[in-house]
Amino acid sequence: MAHDVAIVGAGPVGATLALALADADLDVVVVDPRAPGEVARADRSLALSHGARLVFERLGLWPGLAATEGAVTPIVTIDVSQARGFGALTLDAREQGLPALGYVVSYRALQAALDGALRNTRVEMRYGATARSVAGTTAEATIGIEGAGEESLQARLAVVADGAGSSVAGITRTRRDYGQVALVAAIALSLPHAGVAWERFTPDGPVALLPERDHYALVWTQTPERAARLRDLPDAQFLAELAAHFGSRRGGFAGVADRRSFPLVLEVATATTATRVAVIGNAAQALHPIAGQGFNLGLRDAWELAQTVLATPRGELGGAAMLERHRRGRSLDRRAGIAFTHGLVQLFGNDRPWLSAPRGLGLALLDAMPFAKRAFTRAMLFGLR
């Protein structure tokens, strides 16, 4: 018997979709390669916008997550500037009438909260199952799986949320390698961070400091060769190079831990739907971490798809009309998020000196125009529709 909705991937985006559908009169199944109760081995920092917080509040998840020790750190101010040039922009939660612009959240804590919430629902969780293919016909979608005791399952609608969009029949992905890596680390401080996040655009690419518990989570864009050298430097030398690279705008770096790196690419699905299939989150678009838009865009994918599913009669789930409504509803926000992120990389992630003055002027003007700054900030926090 076919399920109503089958979700591939129980990471934060897929689990959010499942939880948003949990109280409906729907047969929802989720397949995930993890073992029950298993979370990612290495924790990492997620930058959540205020809009993402609202999603988790609606799901009843936020109070418990926020009360978990060390799980959530508010970002009350974002300082944006460029090295070797004028112009700066300060975004403040008070200007928006919000308690915080966003939050740095532990991936492990968020995943554990989502897993715990799903255990108390009727959603069927099939752990230890890896999707090897997803395809649809006019009658149903079929997910070919390995593990969990069966070879396939069928559903009116299949949703891929685990980044494996390339395995979906009818959906291809384009890939652009930026030729850079993100070097991430935990930076201990001699002075409190006071909830201030820093985004510094340098000739080598952006460098960000995100407040997390009592330290900063560092995201430093580098060439692969330089990142490899920095990973292996003694702590004192690494901190000295970071301070010199970041400039005098923020100091007090007292220690470094957990250095690692990953390549920076842009991967975009050419279409977000196929016959009886939708892709969301990283399966639809994997973005550069500049401005922290990727994860928040994926959460909006999940929430908006859930609203479309809930508004659709069971017999029409996965049909062409339903998928067209979803695709049309997400088009503006998705295209804007991709273009904004990629545009920032192109504008600020290079050492072309002739761009320094226009970049600085743009930052200064935006900072000096309250209406424009408010509109810009709210687009970052809530997306576009």
Residues 220-278 have pLDDT tens digits of: 998 999 999 999 999 999 999 999 988 877 878 999 999 999 999 999 999 999 999 99
Region 311-324: mean pLDDT is 97
pLDDT for 253: 94
Region 32-59: mean pLDDT is 88
Region 377-383: mean pLDDT is 69
| Of 203 and 134, the one with more pLDDT | 134
pLDDT for 367: 61
| DSSP H helical ranges for the chain | 12-21, 50-58, 62-67, 93-96, 107-119, 224-231, 235-246, 294-310, 320-348, 356-368, 370-382
Structure tokens at 160: 């891929």
Q: Please say if the pLDDT value at position 40 is more than 70.
A: no
Q: Please say if the pLDDT value at position 144 is more than 50.
A: yes
| Coil vs helix vs strand at 371 | helix
Residues of the chain with pLDDT > 90, as a percent, come to 64
Residue 377 lies in a domain: no
**What are the Cα distances from residue 40, in Å, to 103, 108, 212, 363, 366?**
20, 7, 19, 38, 39
| In contact, 145 and 248? CB cutoff 8 Å | no
pLDDT for 293: 85
Region 332-353: mean pLDDT is 75
pLDDT for 150: 66
CA distance 291 to 205: 12
Q: Please say if the pLDDT value at position 337 is more than 70.
A: yes
Quote the pTM value. 0.91
Residue 370 lies in a domain: no
| Containing structural domain, residue 66 | 3-70+105-174+266-348
Residue 261 lies in a domain: no
Element (H, E) at 131: strand 130-136
pLDDT for 87: 67
| In contact, 43 and 138? CB cutoff 8 Å | no
Find tokens 């490899």 and name the residue: 228
Of 9-23, 33-47, 161-175, 350-364, the range with the lowest mean pLDDT is 350-364
Q: Please say if the pLDDT value at position 352 is more than 60.
A: no
pLDDT class for 343, splitting at 50, 70, 90?
Answer: confident
pLDDT class for 62, splitting at 50, 70, 90?
Answer: very high
Find tokens 């401005």 and name the residue: 291
Region 152-156: mean pLDDT is 94
Q: How many domains does the chain have?
A: 1
Q: What number of CA atoms fall less than 13 Å from residue 334's CA on the CB side?
A: 26
Instruction: Let me know if 83 is exposed, middle or buried by CB neighbors in 10 A (0-12, 13-18, 19+).
Output: middle
pLDDT in tens, 283-303: 999 998 877 788 999 999 999
pLDDT class for 41, splitting at 50, 70, 90?
Answer: low
pLDDT class for 342, splitting at 50, 70, 90?
Answer: confident
Question: Rounded to the nearest 10 degrees, what angle do helices 12-21 and 294-310 cross at?
Answer: 20
Of 51-60, 346-355, 375-384, the range with the lowest mean pLDDT is 346-355
CA distance 327 to 278: 9
Return the beta strands (E) in 161-276 as ranges.
173-189, 196-202, 205-212, 215-222, 253-269, 273-274
28-51 per-residue burial string, b: 16 or more CB within 10 A, e: under 16: bbbbbbbeeeeeeeeeebbbbbbb
Residue 321 lies in a domain: yes
Residue 165 lies in a domain: yes
Which CATH number fits the domain that encloses residue 285?
A: 3.50.50.60
pLDDT in tens, 182-207: 999 999 999 999 999 998 888 778 88
99-118 per-residue burial string, b: 16 or more CB within 10 A, e: under 16: ebbbbbbbbebbbbbbbebb
Residue 122 lies in a domain: yes
When the pLDDT of each residue in the chain is averaged and rounded to a whole number, the result is: 88
pLDDT for 248: 76
Residue 320 lies in a domain: yes
Q: What number of CA atoms fall less than 13 Å from residue 137's CA on the CB side?
A: 5
Q: Please say if the pLDDT value at position 120 is more than 50.
A: yes
Minimal CA–CA distance to 302: which of 5, 15, 34? 15
Residue 209 lies in a domain: no
pLDDT class for 358, splitting at 50, 70, 90?
Answer: low
pLDDT for 114: 96
- For 90-96, the CB contacts below 8 A with 24+ separation are 90/367, 91/373, 91/377, 95/370, 95/373, 95/374, 95/377, 96/50, 96/374, 96/377, 96/378, 96/381
pLDDT for 216: 95
pLDDT class for 354, splitting at 50, 70, 90?
Answer: very low
